[in-house]
Structure 1
């Protein structure tokens, strides 16, 4: 049993192997987390969208950091495997506050996106995002726990940032800077065509997180593309919602 956060963080980072991706089913409460652990997965991630839905709040920072960390603590108390957390754009909190709260809640990794929800949804500049990653990396390192930083860019989800080719180049620029700033994993969020995914895994210097849909694809598909980590975003919760609706339909 892993009880030490430092051990969990090291174990979690070691699971990120390009071509042999760690699958992180995306959960939202203690029940879904226990389901994932009992199914045999070696780690998991908490998604902001399903978490917000489970609380009756909206995604894009309709929750506070305190809201998120309270649920994280419930989840880490229910499972023993490493837990990572989608922290959106940081909830307008200081890096030291984020890291302290994350570790107190028992998590050993986090996602950080470059859309600033507290400022009208603007996109951070590439260097601004990298600077925040560097501050979070320093705050984490000061604790002695190698918190796994997953730097995310939203440019592929933002048509206003240019043509597909321009968005690819922007993502590469942003994520290279994030890697230099201390990110352990890079997350060009979106569903990508195989050639785009291969470009991302080939040209970026850190393990790549891709998004999967539970009833489509397979670990082998992402392994062939060089991906090191697959998470499900809101799609596991959506698949379970569809299944539940089917069960309930006959009882209306």
Structure 2
């Protein structure tokens, strides 16, 4: 399966009429394990990838570091479409980010509006949409329908906005217009907020969940009933496995 075909397969999985779950993996082993469990596509989380490398999230990794992990994971599951969390872009121009991401084997990316390498500032609505637009143009020039998942951190920035829901909608609409194929209002607080986001936005919406306890908007079945198109776990899958690993080895101390 070539790059363009994998990208189209990933995009199509967002429009099947049911909820696409993309477990977040962090190395070749976790990627093969999840793919062997029957998942048709995977997501690479920046936080678990950084943890697996002994580095920190929030762009503590360099772009070279992140893409090294992406390349190893994609190489382990060559027939499975993979999308990668590339944070705010690691300071790269959109054209460079797309070129290098595709060379590493990923066909989708998360891109967030918090620029951790610049003191954690939040991009403006126009700045983030312009960056998404640059990614879209670069992907189109490459002939690959990259699934850009535009993330906003508005809900995580407590007290910064009088109406976080309205601000998130403004930001994500601008990203959709710029060419995002999915949007990610990380930290949406409840089912009512997710329902409003789904009604106001035109494309797929990504919700974060814990694989054990579900999401702030409910269980997988409840997310399906709401019409959520995409679910990811962020760092939660790796974090939940820590207790299982500790329990497994405890008796051998």
TM-score (norm 1): 0.96
Matches within 5 A, 1:160-171: 160-163=159-162, 166-171=163-168
- Using the TM superposition, give the Cα deviation of residue 21 of structure 1 relative to its aligned residue in structure 2, in angstroms: 1.0
Q: Which residue of 2 aligns with 1:151?
A: 150
- Using the TM superposition, give the Cα deviation of residue 118 of structure 1 relative to its aligned residue in structure 2, in angstroms: 1.2
- Using the TM superposition, give the Cα deviation of residue 224 of structure 1 relative to its aligned residue in structure 2, in angstroms: 1.0
Q: Deviations over 1:178-211 (max 9, x none)?
A: 0000000010001531111111111111100001
**Secondary structure at the residue paired with 1:142?**
helix
Does residue 191 of structure 2 align to residue 194 of structure 1?
A: yes
Q: Which residue of 2 aligns with 1:215?
A: 212
Whether the aligned pair in 2 keeps the contact of 1:73 and 1:105 (CA below 8 Å) is yes
Q: Which residue of 1 aligns with 2:11?
A: 13
- Using the TM superposition, give the Cα deviation of residue 162 of structure 1 relative to its aligned residue in structure 2, in angstroms: 2.2
**Secondary structure at the residue paired with 2:159?**
helix
Q: Which residue of 2 aligns with 1:83?
A: 82
- Using the TM superposition, give the Cα deviation of residue 216 of structure 1 relative to its aligned residue in structure 2, in angstroms: 2.1
Q: Deviations over 1:102-127 (max 9, x none)?
A: 11011100000000111100000011
Whether the aligned pair in 2 keeps the contact of 1:108 and 1:147 (CA below 8 Å) is yes
Structure 1 portions without partners, runs of 5+: none
- Using the TM superposition, give the Cα deviation of residue 142 of structure 1 relative to its aligned residue in structure 2, in angstroms: 0.3
**Aligned match for 1:39, one of 37, 40, 51:** 37
- Using the TM superposition, give the Cα deviation of residue 19 of structure 1 relative to its aligned residue in structure 2, in angstroms: 5.3
- Using the TM superposition, give the Cα deviation of residue 27 of structure 1 relative to its aligned residue in structure 2, in angstroms: 0.4
Whether the aligned pair in 2 keeps the contact of 1:18 and 1:208 (CA below 8 Å) is no
Aligned-pair Cα RMSD in Å:
1.1
Provide the C-alpha distance between the structure 1 equivalents of 2:116 and 2:28, rounded to a whole number of angstroms: 27
Whether the aligned pair in 2 keeps the contact of 1:19 and 1:227 (CA below 8 Å) is no
Q: Which residue of 1 aligns with 2:234?
A: 233
Matches within 5 A, 1:170-181: 170-181=167-178
Q: Which residue of 1 aligns with 2:180?
A: 183
**Aligned match for 2:65, one of 64, 67, 71:** 67
TM-score (norm 2): 0.95
Matches within 5 A, 1:42-53: 42-53=40-51
Provide the C-alpha distance between the structure 2 equivalents of 1:62 and 1:237, rounded to a whole number of angstroms: 19
- Using the TM superposition, give the Cα deviation of residue 245 of structure 1 relative to its aligned residue in structure 2, in angstroms: 1.0
Whether the aligned pair in 2 keeps the contact of 1:76 and 1:105 (CA below 8 Å) is yes
Size of the alignment, in residue pairs? 248
> Which stretches of structure 1, 4 residues or more, deviate above 6 A after TM superposition?
none
Whether the aligned pair in 2 keeps the contact of 1:24 and 1:232 (CA below 8 Å) is yes
